[in-house]
Amino acid sequence: MDKIRLATVWLAGCSGCHMSFLDLDEWLFDLAAKVDVVYSPVGSDIKEYPQNVDICLAEGAVANQENLALILQVRQQTKFLISFGDCAVTANVPAMRNMLGGSEPVLKRCYLELSDTSKVIPQDSQFVPELLEQVLPVHNIVDVDLFLPGCPPSAQRIKDALIPLLKGEKPQMEGRDMIKFG
């Protein structure tokens, strides 16, 4: 049997979920025996999201054009998409900027009002992806197959979600150990 093609992507999040993934420590060897990591900021050096991905862990909210383009591509090219961590599931801390109302006031606040020197709003979208008006959870943009909350989800929780998936079963997302936010 071919190995399961696993990807992880990092949208608007702090990478804490990926750090928690790395906290799986020696179990990563067991995982590596069962999967090919075909795309991941911590597990491969591939720049383009590949075709025919079986499982993808998507960390982070959707906050800018780059996040948006990537998650749309991920959904198209992935069989089973996991909303990985509170930012992906709830938009969490990145969405606290939504309370300022839109991208314009956020940029003004950051780059004009709070800047000590060179008060300029970055404009070149070729290098700096444009902010979306609102930061949104992943499932507001694309369909999600599993929600794995937590800030971050503990290594144990990630493992307990992945083990059934590797066998082709859907994990039971119930109880404090599996679905507590924060």
Summarize as ranges the residues that interact with other proteins (CB under 8 A): 83, 86, 89-93, 95-96, 98-99, 101, 134, 136-137, 139-140, 144, 147, 149, 151, 173-176, 178-182
Closest to other proteins by CB, 51 vs 181, is 181
Q: How far apart are CA 157 and CA 175, in angstroms?
A: 11
Q: How far is the CB of 178 from other proteins (least distance, A)?
A: 8
Q: How far is the CB of 117 from other proteins (least distance, A)?
A: 29
Closest to other proteins by CB, 6 vs 151, is 151
Give the Cβ contact number of residue 85 at 10 Å: 31
Q: How far is the CB of 14 from other proteins (least distance, A)?
A: 10
Closest to other proteins by CB, 37 vs 144, is 144
Closest to other proteins by CB, 4 vs 135, is 135
Q: How far is the CB of 151 from other proteins (least distance, A)?
A: 4
Q: How far is the CB of 181 from other proteins (least distance, A)?
A: 4
Closest to other proteins by CB, 44 vs 154, is 154
Q: Which two tokens stand for residue 177?
A: 């150990």
CA distances to 6, 26, 160 from 33, in Å: 12, 12, 17
Instruction: Answer for the pair 56, 38: CB distance below 8 angstroms, yes or no.
Output: no
CA 38 to chain centre: 16
Q: How far apart are CA 113 and CA 176, in angstroms?
A: 42
CA 15 to chain centre: 8
Closest to other proteins by CB, 65 vs 134, is 134
Q: How far is the CB of 146 from other proteins (least distance, A)?
A: 8
Q: How far apart are CA 146 and CA 80, in angstroms?
A: 8
Phi, psi of 55 (to 5 degrees): -130, 135
Q: Of the candidates 67, 87, 54, 93, which has an alpha carbon nearest to the alpha carbon of residue 153?
A: 87
